[in-house]
Amino acid sequence: MATLYAKWNTGDNSQGEIYGATWWAQGFAVTTAHKITAVKLKLYRVNSPGTITVSITDVNGKPTGSDLASGTYDGNIITTATGGEWYTIGLGDGTDLSVATYAIVVRAPDGTVSQYLNWRLQADGNPYTGGNPSQSTNSGSSWSAGGANDAMFEDWGIPSTLVVTTEAATQIAQTTATGNGTIVNTGTSAVTEHGHCWATTINPTTADSKTTNGAGSAGVFTSSITGLLASTKYFVRAYATNTQGTSYGQNIS
């Protein structure tokens, strides 16, 4: 189930027009790392602006770099009531957001000066302190400050976690074996350590015997497990550590 993270969703008393090369963006602060999967925006239309595209980008005062995630919506079915309505725009597979500031960028490339989208704003001197609005009139090539306006938005997503799996050990000898594992998802920060841990009891942790393979990225990995006792049953788990903590794969024996 999706969770609401960042938001600015009350007090709208104005709007920003979006069409053709004229884009609007709203910066927002992430205080809890997560994967953003959708945004809700308060919108209305004038005539038929066509398909709208909503994306998430990094921000350095203003939107920076390429889209991290994006989604589209049929702008021609949005309400024409000037007070606007809330619409959910999915962002595909989403993207992991760390504790930082990002931007929601909205455009209606097929719109015109008479066929445009309006994003509802609060024009009261930037009451939202988590980020700044900005506007581009050249399809995002450059951005200028969006004035004393904050756009209505909600950031919806799911927790972003570090996921590791354990595969069956191979090359098992009397005192050695090869541990196999996969970092499925690195979560919201780089993996600083990964490997395998083992013990004669179930659910070994990094406080037990372990290999230390250093930093890692998503994908398969192996570990050289040594110092085992012959004719002894061991439980082994793959592990990986980042700023979110340590995650473990399932037990194999």
Q: How far apart are CA 191 and CA 168, in angstroms?
A: 22
Residue 180's SS3 state is strand
Mean pLDDT of the chain: 95
Q: Which of 119, 125, 120, 117 is nearest to 145 (CA)?
A: 125
| Model pTM score | 0.72
The pLDDT assigned to 32 comes to 82
89 Cα distance to chain centroid:
15
Run of H or E including 101? strand 101-107
Q: Which of the four pLDDT bands, split at 50, 70 and 90, describes residue 60?
A: confident
Residue 99 has pLDDT above 90, yes or no: no
Q: What is the mean pLDDT of residues 60-70?
A: 93
- Taking only the tens place, the pLDDT of each residue in 140-174 is 999 999 989 999 999 999 888 888 999 999 999 99
11 Cα distance to chain centroid:
27
Cβ–Cβ contacts within 10 Å for residue 219, how many? Answer: 10
List the beta strands (DSSP E) in the chain: 3-8, 14-18, 23-29, 34-46, 51-60, 62-74, 85-97, 101-107, 116-122, 133-136, 144-145, 150-151, 153-158, 162-170, 177-186, 193-199, 209-210, 219-225, 235-242, 245-248
- Taking only the tens place, the pLDDT of each residue in 225-235 is 999 999 999 99
- Taking only the tens place, the pLDDT of each residue in 21-49 is 999 999 999 988 789 999 999 999 999 99
Q: Which of the four pLDDT bands, split at 50, 70 and 90, describes residue 110?
A: very high
